[in-house]
Amino acid sequence: MKLQLAIDELNLQQALEKLESLEPYIDIVEVGTPFLIDAGREAVKQISEKFPSLEVLCDAKIMDAGAYEAQLAYDFGAEYVTVLGITDNLTIKGCVKQAKKQNRQVMVDMICVSDLASRIPIIESLGVDVIAVHTGADQQAAGRTPLDDLKEMKKYAKNVKIAVAGGINSNTIYDYTALDPDIIIVGSGILNADSPVKEAKLIKQALVK
């Protein structure tokens, strides 16, 4: 089980400083969408160069021009790029084609996909690497958690890895590890903790079987 740190609200310098102490406890660094808008692909480039032991995910949330936009991320050092599960199959196929060309990976973000049962088999057939349960910040504020979606996804996903994100912290981590996802995504649960290093360590310990 891998731990993915989602960085959304930091600037590039702040992110690089935080990663200095958090590097031993994480596996994947996510250049989150707000971070990507703020710092651009340079964030992907600098993180991948400064922390070669970590995989970098570019949360581009691709909705169109799949191959081209995926290439923009991969060329700057991203191991993963995200594409939205609600987009056209041709866009997802384009991301997969480019990923295979560059020996990289595609994660499908299932935010706002309402019918997981019918959509997951189609997405799997397109050759993606990871499908991610994602309960967005606005949905979390309304009281929703990703646990139910994760349980449903586990029923239908047969051939891909599963990631889960949405308000996870050291107090709730065992609810998620019990469902055995491949990647746990944590953002504010670590970065806004009183001690981010202590929180990351506690979560990482929970992932070790």
Q: Say yes or no to pLDDT of 167 above 90.
A: no
Report pLDDT for 90. Answer: 98
Q: Say yes or no to pLDDT of 142 above 80.
A: no
Helices of type H across 75-195: 89-102, 116-125, 137-141, 147-156, 173-177, 188-191
Q: Say yes or no to pLDDT of 73 above 80.
A: yes
* 119/41 Cα distance (integer angstroms): 30
Report pLDDT for 143. Answer: 75
- What's the chain's average pLDDT? 95
Report pLDDT for 146. Answer: 83
Work out the pLDDT band at 68, boundaries 50, 70, 90: very high
Report pLDDT for 147. Answer: 87
Report pLDDT for 35. Answer: 98
pLDDT tens-place string over residues 29-41: 999 999 999 999 9
Q: Say yes or no to pLDDT of 172 above 70.
A: yes
pTM (two decimals): 0.95
* 88/6 Cα distance (integer angstroms): 25
Q: Say yes or no to pLDDT of 144 above 90.
A: no
Burial annotation 147-175 (CB, 10 A radius, 16+ → b, else e): bebbeebeeebeebbbbbbbbbbbebbee
Looking at the chain, the number of H-run helices and the number of E-run strands are 11, 8
Report pLDDT for 141. Answer: 77
* 135/148 Cα distance (integer angstroms): 10
Q: Say yes or no to pLDDT of 89 above 80.
A: yes
Report pLDDT for 48. Answer: 98
How confident is the model over 97-114, as a mean pLDDT?
Answer: 96
How confident is the model over 109-130, as a mean pLDDT?
Answer: 94
Q: Say yes or no to pLDDT of 26 above 70.
A: yes
* 168/183 Cα distance (integer angstroms): 12
User: What is the set of domains in the chain, with CATH numbers?
Assistant: 2-207 (3.20.20.70)
* 33/164 Cα distance (integer angstroms): 16
Report pLDDT for 209. Answer: 64
Helix axis angle for 196-207 and 12-22, nearest 10°, is 60
At CA 185, angle to CA 182 and CA 190, rounded to 5? 135
Report pLDDT for 109. Answer: 96
